[in-house]
Structure 1
Amino acid sequence: MSSEAVSAPEPTVAPPPPRRRRRGRVLLIALLAVVVVLGLGTGGVGWYFSGVATEVSHEWEYPLTVLDVGDGTVTLPRDEATVRPGTWALAWKGGRALLGPVVKQDERSVVRNVAEVPQGTLTKGLAVHLDHWVYAGDPRRALGLEFRDVTYPTQVGAMPAWFLPGTTNRTTWVIAVHGRNADRAETFRAMPAVHRLGLPMLSIAYRNDVGAPRSPDHRNHLGDTEWRDVASAVAYARSQGATGVVLYGWSMGGAMVMTALRHSDDPGFVRGVVLDSPVMDWNATLDKQGAARNLPGFVTAAAKRILQWRTGIDLEDYDQRRYAPDLKTPTLLFTTDADATVDNAPSLAFAERAPRGMVTHVRAQGDHTEAWNVDPAAYERALHAFVTGLKP
């Protein structure tokens, strides 16, 4: 009898139970959904905060309420600013008061002298803000200084400026550049000292300021396009007989001044630079502001990437520390140890990396751009010594 080889049937692998397959798909879909939601959420928050950084806004907030008004005094809620010594003003809608020293304080309130109420009526219950610009209006009304309204040509149109003539035959002009979303009133605090030095002064508006031409997108570019208005102001000063300039920038104005200097075809025309609480690295300052808003680092990083895409700015180009070793222009640098707006570390590093003797660094105890407020006399002494030491 013949026999045939019989092959054993191949073992079969049972498919996973349907429930397990469904559970795997559900987990995968859920994971993808979380990734998408996190990505969209991060991108959305990043887009929002990049918009905050580039927003053009000239609105004032009034976070304090006047608790009482006495005979030559005002009582305010106590905080780090209201107890700070120095020269300040209270501002409210339609009014302003110049403040004197603290005369009394407790855990909740502080009483300060009122030196003058040049506008409006100071009353209990007013919503106010503590104004470190101190003055308002124009140079004549605010300080009794003669000036002319002028315009200087820029890429986006005729730009307004205040021109204060000098009191000597010196032909080096001071060009004053205010900070982000500020206005020319920020430069008032320097005007009396510059006037006593005898130098002409040009306090400029730039694109997107109130009363100034707008940029095509009406966005703040953190100085990346605005610096060109500083360069235009320098060209205007030269056309009007200036034989040199001192560039004087507050906050973002400092970033603009340094960028204009780096791009200048004739850097020797800039006799000196004064920087007051300058932005010397946008990356560091945006990180600081993100942390102050309790943003996770990856959200701030996303916001910075989106900001660069929206505006075309290269944030790395605004790390002035990179250029410090090549600095050839004498620089006076004011920083404040309690600056809650700008990261001071890049300014300190800039001063250290610059050639010896090229940067004069003055530290004060106030908040952002408040070095003058906390000690006007010391500030003006430093400014006077610096400017008089410059080449004519």
Structure 2
Amino acid sequence: MRERAGSGRYPRRFLAVSGIAVAGATVLLGIAGGVLAAVMARRIVTPSTTRSDDVRIHSVDLVAGTITLQSTADSVLQGDYSFWFSGDTGHAHLGEILRLTPTKVTRRILRVDHGDLARAERGRLGGYSYLGPWDLGFAFEDVLVSTDVGDAPAWLIPAEEPDGRWVIQVHGRGVQRQETLRATPVFRDAGFTSLLVSYRNDGEAPRSGDGRYSLGDAEWQDVDAAIAFAVHRGATEIVLMGWSMGGAIVLQSATRSTLRDRIVGIVLDSPVIDWADVARFHGGLLGLPAVIASSALEVLGRRWGKIITGQTQPIDFGRLDFVTRAAELDLPVLLMHSDDDGFVPATGSRALAGRRPDIVTFLPFAVARHTKLWNYDREGWNQAITNWLVEIAPTERMSLPGRPGEVAAT
């Protein structure tokens, strides 16, 4: 006897097939998510070798000393900026904005250090203002800091009258120690000797065994070696300053160094306070769900993750989270961050400042992007550091008119 349509085993067969299809789709989505998390994890800890030229050059007038660029969030910022062009083969220094339209911005060319800017088609703006200490006009010494992975090059710029106060400058991810040169004049004016360091896998210092970033969980050892170097050379009081990922590194150094008693304060510019926050932010920029970023950090934090990432050791993200660990900090901190950072969200900085107002002096910016705070407002940035140094170590040498520690918001 023939079964009627819509009865008997056909609906059950349809449901079974549909269930298998849904299960299969779920598995495929899970696999795709796992692949994306693996790719993201590997990308986070793999040092980049090149940076893309992301700004189109419309025209260059070397006679008038002007350049017209595509309008982007970075190219329309007020202030002076470094400009790399033609695949980093050339470098110029750009100044004030002369004309601005919705699609183009014309800026003053302050100087061309090298390369043929007139023939360039694309470039990228950066916060570097100096390519080396020679640009500052100060006496300096090329030194090597002995670390457990080898000798790491550093620049030592002595104070005019050295008295034992040092600042150790730690650059961010994907850049080198030139990034930190901007801070040398203000610290030197305050009487500090500056040590601008490199660290494992940054392209200047030796590679670690796996050639991977540890996001501060291992690099701090190179800063610890720099602290030992400074003490050997006469440092009695040390300020640590970290930029971007360098902020995560110096926070580890300040809490894990065997020479913590020599550290008197921490300065942070656009710092990473919590890597989970940064991973979620970048996942969002790529249109990925938050679970992908969380899974990527899970990969990086597990021993088995080395199969995917090439790391020798997993990363302890709990130890790197200074929102959660805020209560453990016991040093004065000057923290500067822009809400439109675009690379490291300011949420972690604001959270840390909110949890530790007793030790954290927070200088917020609204429009300055990532590690370009000095470029955007040099006077305000310098004054914030000067005032903070007076506040943490008031001496006759560093006394200034006005109220110590007063910082104006930007």
Q: Determine if the alignment matches structure 1 residue 117 to structure 2 residue 104.
A: no
Question: Would you say 1:288 and 2:289 are equivalent positions?
Answer: no
Distance 2:204 2:269 in 1: 25
SS at match of 2:251: helix
**Local SS of the residue matching 1:163:** strand
The residue aligned with 2:167 is 174
Say whether the 8 Å CA contact 1:324–1:355 is kept in structure 2: no
Summarize the alignment of residues 183-332 of structure 1 with structure 2, pairs less than 5 Å apart. Answer: 183-309=176-302, 310=305, 311-332=313-334
Q: SS of the counterpart of 1:303?
A: helix
The structure having more radius of gyration, on CA atoms, is 1
Q: Decide whether aligned partners of structure 1 residues 34 and 369 sit closer, same or farther in structure 2, where only a CA change above 3 A counts.
A: same
Instruction: Within 5 Å, give how 1:44-123 maps onto structure 2.
Output: 44-70=35-61, 71-92=64-85, 93-123=88-118
- Deviation per CA, 1:338-364: give whole Å up to 9, x if none: 1111121221121122152x2211122
Q: 1:174, 1:69 → 2: CA distance? A: 39
Amino acid paired to 2:378: P
SS in 1 for 2:323: helix
**Cα distance in structure 2, aligned partners of 1:236 and 1:168:** 19
CA spacing shift, 1:125–1:206, aligned 2, 3 Å: closer
Report the Cα distance in structure 1 between the residues aligned to 2:235 and 2:291, rounded to whole angstroms: 48
Kept after mapping to 1: 8 A contact 2:216/2:320: no
Q: Is the 8 A contact 1:67 1:124 kept in 2?
A: no
Q: Is this contact kept in 2: 1:162–1:204, CA < 8 A?
A: yes
Aligned position for 2:350:
348
Secondary structure at the counterpart of residue 325 of structure 2: helix
Letter in 1 for 2:266: V
In the aligned structure 2, how far is the partner of 1:263 from the partner of 1:276? 21
SS at match of 1:223: coil
- Taking structure 1 as the reference length, the TM-score comes to 0.90
- 8 Å contact kept, 2:55–2:72: no
User: Which one-letter code corresponds to 2:354 in the other structure?
Assistant: E
For 2:52, the aligned partner's letter is E
Note if contact 2:162-2:193 (Cα within 8 Å) is conserved in structure 1: no
Distance, in Å, in 1 between the alignment partners of 2:96 and 2:191 is 30
Post-superposition offset of 1:270: 0.5
Question: 1:191 Cα shift?
Answer: 1.5
Aligned-pair CA distance for 1:139: 1.0
- The residue aligned with 2:309 is none
Listed one character per residue, the Cα deviations across residues 160-181 of structure 1 (whole Å, up to 9, x for unaligned) are: 1111112113211110000112
* Contact 1:333–1:360 (CA under 8 A) maintained in structure 2: yes
Q: Report the Cα distance in structure 2 between the residues aligned to 1:386 and 1:51, rounded to whole angstroms.
A: 39
Q: Residue type of the partner of 1:390?
A: I
Q: 5+ residue gaps in structure 1?
A: 1-15
CA drift of 1:90 comes to 1.6
The match for 2:335 is 333
**3-state SS of the aligned residue for 1:322?**
coil
- Provide the secondary structure at the position in 2 that maps to 1:210: coil
Q: What amino acid does structure 2 have at the position aligned with 1:128?
A: G
Write out per-residue CA displacement over residues 55-113 of structure 1, whole angstroms, 9 at most, x where no aligned residue.
11131211222211221111111222222111112212332221121111222211111
Decide which of 363, 379, 382 is 2:381's aligned counterpart.
Answer: 379
1:13 corresponding residue in structure 2: none
SS of the aligned residue for 1:348 comes to helix
Alignment partners' CA distance in 2, 1:271 and 1:240: 17
Matching residue of 2:400: none
Matches of 1:122 and 1:355, distance apart in 2: 47
The amino acid across from 1:257 in the alignment is V
Partner amino acid for 1:268? D
Pair 1:260–1:125, CA change in 2 (3 A): closer
Give the letter aligned to residue 48 of structure 1: V
Aligned to 1:41: 32
**Aligned residue pairs, count:** 374
Q: Indicate the SS of the match to 1:320.
A: coil
Out of 283-292 and 61-70, give the one that drifted further. Answer: 61-70
1:101 partner amino acid: E
**Residue in structure 2 matched with residue 9 of structure 1 by the alignment:** none
Structure 2 gap ranges (5+): 1-6, 306-312, 396-410
Indicate which of 130, 133, 139 corresponds to 1:139.
133
Would the aligned equivalents of 2:176 and 2:204 in 1 still touch at CA under 8 Å? no
Contact kept, 8 Å, 1:325 with 1:355, in 2: the verdict is no
